[in-house]
């Protein structure tokens, strides 16, 4: 490569940045299609290897990406969920319907205790979304009593159902998309609900902190952000929030019609350009939050994000099943980099969704399981969990296709708890490889190695028959004039450790 093809990324390993919360790597699991049933829960009597009904293969895969939290039970499902239907002996569970997602029967065999068992098995925190739309404050308060109290009737009921000790509810979401499927409420109306739900949502487990998260903006709309943050700044007592939620998908228009496979550069460029808009969105809402909360006490929580594509042909469109390609791995990496750069305000995010739904980590079919390119990005990014963000300076150049123009590369750097330096690099360019030279201030880098996720095509996917088409490969730098230089294939994501 000529020097012109080489982009230098300069990192100051001694700089002091915000913590990249591990909760940025959170997951979302809704009762939707095969997100839970089949994907997580197969039942105790299933021939598919399981622990108390929960798939062992899925648990092992999720443990490997150190999932920090799981948001459940929805989504739109949450505002129609009645927790009492999902506790107690399986034979007494009350089946209902899932009107949002295909109208299928919801057997309620996976309920509160199964979810808490699941997050316990994978070592994640629970992020539970309360029903504000069709539930009551009393129902929500009792759910929390069931989860967290001792020496009360509901605490005793939990013990009788097999869990004597109170659970830890780390995050409590007050509704979901209350501007939409959660009740189509005006911001002013939702605010009144929020205050009362927040006040009456008691966590009775004194050993565990519970953070409450309010419904926030729908994409670029600012009414919820303004209304809730203004009220929060002026509040006198009795309610509080630790986070304000933002939902934003990469869609290229509604209804979702972008193909999961069988696309070319025009569709790729348009999709990636839209993905990069997440940065503007965070800036826009962050600026409003800064006005009311300059100390950044309230986090912006991007608890639904990812690629929302046309459903897999032949599947129930209400199940939101889609394949997951190398392009989607790029979408994941770019979003994670954006969240990390805004780590002072964005302290939690949940990709939609964990298994078999939208931009999933894992696809299953009966006993079969496959890990998606997006899964591999999450695995490669584990070193960034709770690491310290470092400034990465670089001139990204431009990648252009027709009317689309965007940076050619992206880079994000951090120092982990052991002082080790990590760099994430994305070559966005569809056609051209790129060389990246790493310049580290202070002590020079002596070796750089890690992994790269590249693929034969932008629409390459992993299937049950060919599960390793897109998997990380070792990547090492060569030293050029005393500096490590890495070669990144077109449309690739790399994460490397820097030895000094
Ligand atoms: O993730 C699918 C759906 O998208 C969720 O249920 C809802 O909150 C959002 O509109």
Supply the range of the domain harboring residue 422: 3-14+390-499
Residue 177 CA: nearest ligand 1 atom is 8
Pick the closest to residue 382 from 451, 308, 301 (CA basis): 451
Q: Tell me: do 194 and 319 sit in the same domain.
A: yes
Short-list 160, 167, 184, 196, CA closest to 79: 184
Of these residues, 80, 106, 304, 435, which one is catalytic? Answer: 304
CA–CA separation, 185 vs 325, rounded Å?
A: 36
Note the pLDDT tens digit of each residue in 240-263.
999 999 999 999 999 999 999 999
Point out the ligand 1 atom lying closest to the alpha carbon of residue 358: 1
> Mind giving me the DSSP string for 209-226?
--EEEE---BTT--HHHH
Nearest CA, atom 9, ligand 1: 75
Indicate whether 349 pLDDT > 90: yes
Of 126, 122, 217, residue with least CA distance to 166: 126
Question: Within 13 Å, how many C-alpha atoms sit on residue 127's CB side?
Answer: 31
**Using CA atoms, how far apart are residues 189 and 173, in angstroms rounded to an integer?**
17
pLDDT at residue 3 is higher than 90: no
Q: What percent of the chain has pLDDT over 70?
A: 99
Residues 131 and 197 in one domain: yes
Same domain, 129 and 186: yes
Give yes or no: 80 in active site.
no
Last residue of a domain, one of 386, 411, 426: 386
Which of 77, 219, 247 to probe ligand 1 with, by most ligand atoms within 8 A of CB? 247
Pick the atom of ligand 1 nearest to 77's CA. 6
Would you give the DSSP letter of residue 41? B
Query: Which pLDDT belongs to residue 1?
Result: 52
Same domain, yes or no: 314 and 435: no
DSSP 65: T
* Confidence check on the interface: ipTM exceeds 0.90, yes or no: yes
Q: Please write the tens of the pLDDT for every residue from 99-146.
A: 999 999 999 999 999 999 999 999 999 999 999 999 999 999 999 999
**pLDDT score recorded for residue 494:** 98
369 token code pair: 């399981």
* Spatial distance between the Cα atoms of 228 and 191, rounded to a whole number of angstroms: 6
Ligand 1: residues within 6 Å at CB?
A: 30, 74-76, 176-177, 304, 352-353, 358
Helical pair 112-122 and 56-64, crossing angle rounded to 10 deg: 50
Q: Would you state the pLDDT for residue 5? A: 79
Question: Do residues 398 and 373 share a domain?
Answer: no
Which one-letter DSSP state was computed for residue 11? E
Q: What is the CATH number of the domain that holds 290?
A: 3.20.20.80
Q: Which of 80, 106, 114, 177 is catalytic?
A: 177
For 410-467, the pLDDT digits (tens) are 999 999 999 999 999 999 999 999 999 999 998 888 889 999 999 999 999 999 999 9
* Mean pLDDT score, 289-298: 98
Q: Whose CA is nearest to atom 6 of ligand 1?
A: 75
Residues 326, 410 within the same domain: no
Residue 20 has pLDDT above 80, yes or no: yes
Q: What is the CATH number of the domain that holds 449?
A: 2.60.40.1180
pLDDT tens profile 42-60: 999 999 999 999 999 999 9
Say yes or no: 352 and 417 in one domain.
Answer: no
Residue with token string 């209350």: 178
* Ligand 1 mean position, distance from CA 76 (Å): 6
Q: Do 451 and 366 share a structural domain?
A: no
Examine the fold and report which residue of 341, 360, 386 is the final residue of a domain before the chain moves on.
Answer: 386
Q: For a substitution probing ligand 1, which of 75, 216, 302 has the most ligand atoms within 8 Å of its CB?
A: 75
Average pLDDT over residues 404-414: 98
**Mean pLDDT rounded to a whole number for the chain:** 97
Can you tell me the distance from the alpha carbon of 122 to that of 142, in angstroms, rounded to the nearest whole number? Answer: 26
Task: Number of helices (H) and strands (E) in the chain: give both, helices first.
Answer: 10, 28
- Please say which residue of 341, 357, 386 terminates a domain: 386
Q: How many domains does the chain have?
A: 2
**CA 496 to ligand 1 centroid distance, Å:** 34
Note the pLDDT tens digit of each residue in 170-211. Answer: 999 999 999 999 999 999 999 999 999 999 999 999 899 999
Residue 204 confidence (pLDDT): 97
Q: In terms of domains, do 40 and 187 share one?
A: yes
**Is 304 noted as a catalytic residue in this protein?**
yes
pLDDT at position 446: 85
The pLDDT of residue 381: 99
What atom of ligand 1 comes closest to residue 176's alpha carbon? Answer: 8
Cβ neighbours of residue 38 under 8 Å, at least 6 residues apart?
356, 364, 366
334 CA distance to ligand 1 centroid (A)?
A: 21
Is pLDDT above 80 for 2? no
Do 402 and 435 fall within a single domain? yes
How large is the C-alpha radius of gyration of the chain? 23
Give, using CA atoms, the residue closest to atom 3 of ligand 1.
Answer: 75
State in Å: Cα 254 to ligand 1 middle: 13
For residue range 229-241, list pLDDT tens digits in order: 999 999 988 899 9
pLDDT of residue 12: 94
CA of 181 to the centre of ligand 1 (A): 8
**Burial environment of residue 482 by CB neighbours within 10 A (0 to 12, 13 to 18, 19 or more):** exposed
Query: Is the domain of 103 the same as that of 227?
Result: yes
Cis peptide upstream of residue 353 (ω within 30 degrees of 0): yes
Of ligand 1's listed atoms, the one at least distance from the Cα of 76 is 6
Q: In testing the pocket of ligand 1, which one of 304, 307, 320, 350 has its CB within 8 Å of the most ligand atoms?
A: 304
pLDDT at residue number 442: 87
Token pair of 233 as six digits: 């700044």
Question: Same structural domain for residues 235 and 260?
Answer: yes
* Digit-coded pLDDT (tens) for 295-337: 999 999 999 999 999 999 999 999 999 999 999 999 999 999 9
């Amino acid at each position: 490569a000529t020097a012109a093809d080489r982009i230098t990324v300069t990192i100051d390993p001694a700089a002091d940045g915000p913590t990249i919360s591990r909760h940025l790597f959170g997951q979302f699991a809704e009762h939707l299609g095969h997100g839970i049933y089949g994907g997580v829960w197969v039942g105790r009597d299933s021939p598919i290897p399981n622990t108390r009904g929960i798939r062992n293969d899925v648990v092992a895969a999720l443990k490997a990406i150190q999932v920090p939290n799981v948001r459940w039970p929805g989504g739109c499902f949450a505002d129609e969920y009645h927790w009492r239907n999902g506790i107690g002996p399986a034979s007494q569970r009350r089946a209902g319907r899932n009107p949002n997602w295909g109208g299928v029967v919801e057997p309620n065999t996976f309920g509160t205790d199964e979810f808490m068992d699941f997050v316990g098995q994978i070592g994640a925190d629970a992020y539970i979304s309360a029903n504000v739309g069709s539930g009551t404050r009393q129902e929500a308060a009792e759910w929390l009593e069931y989860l967290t109290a001792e020496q009360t009737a509901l605490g005793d009921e939990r013990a009788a159902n097999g869990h004597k000790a109170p659970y830890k509810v780390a995050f409590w979401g007050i509704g979901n998309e209350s501007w939409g499927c959660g009740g189509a409420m005006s911001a002013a109306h939702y605010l009144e609900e929020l205050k009362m739900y927040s006040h009456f949502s008691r966590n009775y487990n004194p050993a565990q902190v519970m953070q409450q998260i309010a419904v926030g903006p729908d994409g670029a709309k600012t009414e919820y952000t303004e209304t809730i943050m203004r009220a929060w700044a002026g509040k006198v007592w009795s309610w509080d929030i630790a986070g304000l939620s933002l939902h934003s998908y990469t869609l290229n228009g509604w209804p979702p019609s972008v193909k999961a496979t069988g696309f070319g550069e025009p569709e790729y460029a348009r999709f990636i350009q839209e993905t990069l808009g997440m940065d503007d969105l965070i800036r826009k809402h962050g600026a409003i939050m800064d006005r009311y909360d300059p100390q950044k006490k309230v986090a912006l929580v991007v608890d639904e994000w990812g690629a929302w594509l046309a459903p897999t042909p032949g599947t129930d469109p209400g199940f939101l099943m889609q394949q997951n390609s190398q392009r989607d791995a790029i979408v994941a990496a770019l979003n994670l980099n954006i969240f990390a750069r805004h780590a002072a305000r964005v302290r939690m995010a949940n990709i939609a969704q964990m298994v078999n739904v939208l931009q999933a980590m894992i696809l299953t079919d009966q006993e079969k399981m496959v890990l998606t390119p997006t899964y591999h990005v999450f695995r490669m990014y584990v070193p960034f969990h709770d690491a310290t963000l470092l400034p990465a300076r670089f001139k990204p150049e431009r990648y252009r296709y027709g009317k689309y123009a965007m940076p050619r590369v992206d880079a994000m750097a951090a120092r982990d708890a052991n002082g080790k330096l990590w760099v994430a690099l994305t070559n966005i360019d569809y056609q051209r490889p790129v060389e990246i030279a790493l310049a580290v201030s202070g002590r020079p880098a002596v070796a750089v190695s890690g992994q790269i996720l590249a693929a034969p095509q932008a629409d390459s996917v992993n299937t049950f028959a060919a599960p390793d088409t897109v998997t990380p490969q070792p990547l090492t730098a060569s030293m050029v004039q005393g500096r490590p230089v890495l070669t990144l294939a077109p449309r690739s994501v790399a994460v490397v450790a820097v030895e000094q």
